[in-house]
Structure 1
Amino acid sequence: MKLFVFEQEQFVPGRPADIWNFFADPANLKIITPPYMGFDIASDAGQRTFAGQIISYTVRPLLGIPLSWITEITHVEEGLSFIDEQRFGPYRFWHHRHLFAKAKGGVLMTDTVHYGLPLPLFENTINELIVRPKLEQIFAFRRKKIEELF
């Protein structure tokens, strides 16, 4: 299986504790996800991210077709980082590290996503034509929304 990597950095102005608290609340994922994705949290995720947390979502990334996606928060370093990993869903592999580094006037937030795709014979083509552009689109929306919020 080939692993692809998507990475994005964004400076977020504000108090680091406020920024962390926003991103550590799973309910806020809906706010920073494009509406066309039809993102809904299907489980009671609670109000604070913690290691071992299981979160179940419904997403509609292509043609409005609903997909179930279940992730586990595998690591949390309070105020610094957390990792979510797919347990069931559209990817063969999904590992998303959210890193929050204090910077003058705010936080430098870095998202690093390692992902593997189904259909190994066509994974490069699927990534180039569908998955990578979709991730770029989702994270561009997220970037803009975060700029509006902070």
Structure 2
Amino acid sequence: MKIYTLHTKQNLPISVQEAWQFLGDPKNLKMITPDYMGFKILSGADRPMFPGQLIQYIVTPVAGIKTKWVTEITHVVEGKFFVDEQRYGPYAMWHHKHFIKEIPGGVEMEDIVDYKLPLGILGQLTHPFLVKPKLKEIFEYRKNKLTEIFGTYSYKPETAVV
């Protein structure tokens, strides 16, 4: 079975602490998820992120079909990265790494999602025209929403006058 990877990066004009505070609160996931997905947290988002935390959601990714999704936060290094993995949901496998790195004028946020689709060859056939474009759309929405919330990164190094 094929493993796919989605890789995105975004620079924001905020501190590592601000980025971590936002990303470390599971309730903020709703804010950066498209409304049409009907995202609703059922349980597990009552505390800041910690290893072993299970979070249950309902999402409606396509055709109005509601899907339960359970993820576990498996790794956390405060201010640097965390990993969530699907325990139950629409994918055969979902492993999502979130990295935060300080850069001049802000932070670089990087997401790497490795995933497998269910249904063998049938799942693979849906990837290019359904799954891949939908994931790109969701992560583009996140990028735009984070820019709306935190502003546009526009760091320009200072020029020394000699």
In 2, the alpha carbon distance for the partners of 1:142 and 1:23 equals 12
Per the TM alignment, residue 72 of structure 1 is displaced from its structure 2 partner at its CA by 0.2
- Superposed CA RMSD: 0.8
Q: Secondary structure at the match of 1:114?
A: strand
Q: Which runs of 5+ in 1 are unaligned?
A: none
Per the TM alignment, residue 105 of structure 1 is displaced from its structure 2 partner at its CA by 1.4
Q: Secondary structure at the match of 1:31?
A: helix
Using the aligned pairs only, state the percent identity. Answer: 47
Per the TM alignment, residue 46 of structure 1 is displaced from its structure 2 partner at its CA by 1.9
Q: Secondary structure at the match of 2:32?
A: coil
Residues 1:22 and 2:22 are matched in the alignment: yes
Deviations 1:97-124 (A, max 9, x none): 0000111111100000000001111233
Residues paired across the two proteins, number: 150
Does the CA-based 8 Å contact 1:27-1:47 persist in structure 2? Answer: no
Residues 1:32 and 2:54 are matched in the alignment: no
Partner of 1:145: 145
Per the TM alignment, residue 44 of structure 1 is displaced from its structure 2 partner at its CA by 3.6
In 1, the alpha carbon distance for the partners of 2:122 and 2:61 equals 19
Per the TM alignment, residue 47 of structure 1 is displaced from its structure 2 partner at its CA by 3.0
Q: Which runs of 5+ in 2 are unaligned?
A: 151-162
Which residues of 2 match residues 1-150 of structure 1 at below 5 A?
Answer: 1-150=1-150
In 2, the alpha carbon distance for the partners of 1:139 and 1:124 equals 20
Letter in 2 for 1:125: L
Letter in 2 for 1:19: A
The runs of 4+ residues in structure 1 deviating greater than 3 Å are: none
Q: Secondary structure at the match of 2:137?
A: helix
In 1, the alpha carbon distance for the partners of 2:23 and 2:45 equals 13
Does the CA-based 8 Å contact 1:96-1:113 persist in structure 2? Answer: yes
Deviations 1:19-56 (A, max 9, x none): 11000000000000000000010004223110000000
